[in-house]
Amino acid sequence: MLRRSFLKSSLALPVSGMLLGRSSLGFSQALPSPLVAPKSRPSDFDFVFFTDCHLEPELAGVEGCVKCFTQINKEKADFCIAGGDQVFDVCEQDLTRAHLLFNLYQQTEKDHLSGKVYYTVGNHDVVGINQKSPVEPGAHEYGKKLYEDYFGKRYYSFDHKGWHFIVLDSIGIEYYKIFKAEFDEEQLAWLKSDLSSVGPSVPIIVVTHVPIATVLGTLSTHSHNGPGPIAANSYAVHELLAGHNLKAILQGHLHVWQKSEYQGVQYLISGAVSGAWWEGAMDGTPEGYTLCQIRGDQLHLSYVTYPWVARVQHPKS
């Protein structure tokens, strides 16, 4: 998400689900959720969805990520999914800074986070998609090339214990150094092909940085200077998923924890590891991650905070 842009107001949103970890005093509402049963089947498993780390050497961002990763390790999850914006920021910085940030993130994760991590590309992970960037479109590392060098493919799928996971790239590049949230045609063709090999009963979880669906666009009334709260052609993804056993879409970008359900599908936006870019809670959502627990054919989602006090408090407009 663009720092101090879209969700910068003092809007406090109701939160549904379970809040775990440190005090939830920053929330306007924290609704209880039933306790999730222990794993009783071989197919039951847990995974962690964390997003918007915005790791940077400033504002004690590394220290914050270390504390978060240390707590994630205690979940003993089968794997983690990183929801994008691993660093802050390569979209408007030079290549020296970009390499520094990606190396810093990878070293921090290597030293402090155990197990497999699947990555999602976020807008702040893409080189040069800001008018302030000194990196020109003709440069070899412009766009997503550097991201792919460090983190791998920008979209892909994998299977785990009978569940099919699809990780999408919602970061479009439009015109000259302009970021537009959308899914490109090449990726949509791949998605169609990928889904053709997935049986209709197989449970599916989709991951994207910029949301496909959210209520935040209608609840927020203040102005912003970045792309809207959802990808421009989200409908194209929905059309391809029609007829499949879609269980959830896990999303980031907006830094607040918001969960809704429509036609049996859970649409989650997770709060950010960095909160409001390492400056405290974001509109009532403190720093944290989402614990995802599979029990049978059901997915249970809960937000988990970790012990962290920001050095600077995010200003309210």
Cα separations in angstroms, 169 against 58, 91, 172, 276: 27, 16, 8, 23
CATH H-level superfamily of 46-305: Metallo-dependent phosphatases (3.60.21.10)
**Cα(308)–Cα(301) distance, rounded to whole angstroms?**
22
Helix axes 95-112, 61-74, angle to 10 degrees: 30
**Cα(30)–Cα(24) distance, rounded to whole angstroms?**
7
> In the prediction, which pLDDT does 37 show?
78
Question: Residue type at 211?
Answer: P
277 backbone dihedrals φ, ψ, rounded to 5°? 55, 45
Cα separations in angstroms, 179 against 49, 162, 209: 24, 35, 13
Q: Where are the domains of the chain?
A: 46-305
Cα separations in angstroms, 159 against 131, 152, 251: 39, 17, 19
Element (H, E) at 190: helix 185-196
Per-residue pLDDT of the chain (317 residues; tens, 9 = 90+): 544 333 333 233 333 334 444 333 334 434 335 478 788 899 999 999 999 999 999 999 999 999 999 999 999 999 999 999 999 999 999 999 999 999 999 999 999 999 999 999 999 999 999 999 999 999 999 999 999 999 999 999 999 999 999 999 999 998 788 899 999 999 999 999 999 999 999 999 999 999 999 887 666 544 444 456 899 999 999 999 999 999 999 999 999 999 999 999 999 999 999 999 999 999 889 999 999 999 999 999 999 999 999 988 766 53
Tokens 């209520």, located at residue: 215
Buried b (16+ CB within 10 A) or exposed e, 24-55: bebbeebeebeebeeeeeeebbbbbbbbbbbb
